[in-house]
Amino acid sequence: MRRGCISLGEVKCGDCQRTIPYPERYLAIDEEDGVEVEKGNTVHYCILCAIEKGYARYKEIKGEMVLTFFQEPDVSDVSQD
Ligand SMILES: [Zn+2]
């Protein structure tokens, strides 16, 4: 499963190995052999890596770009990129 978290400055990205500074957001996700699973090893990804892997995206809400970690297709979002 996915959880959006706020770094306290001690979290390292599991992909680019960058230390994620406070108060940057990051993604905690359970993976098994690089594939998302319900329960597995928890891996942390910085925003950039999460976006690159398709785990996060920017969404426009009321004229502002807001980062979302989405679990399921957003039914209210009908646009196809
Ligand atoms: Zn990263």
Q: For 7-56, how does the pLDDT look when each residue is reduced to its tens digit (9 = 90+)?
A: 999 999 999 999 999 999 999 999 999 899 999 999 999 999 999 999 99
pTM score > 0.75 for this model? yes
**3-state DSSP assignment of residue 52:** helix
Q: Which pLDDT does position 37 carry in this prediction?
A: 93
CA count, 13 A, side-chain hemisphere, 8:
0
Q: Give the chain's end-to-end CA distance (angstroms, integer).
A: 24
Q: For residue 57, is pLDDT > 80? A: yes
* Residue 60 alpha carbon to ligand 1 centre in Å: 23
* Residue 22 alpha carbon to ligand 1 centre in Å: 14
Q: For residue 59, is pLDDT > 60? A: yes
Domain boundaries, the chain: 2-73
* Residue 54 alpha carbon to ligand 1 centre in Å: 13
Q: Which pLDDT does position 1 carry in this prediction?
A: 84
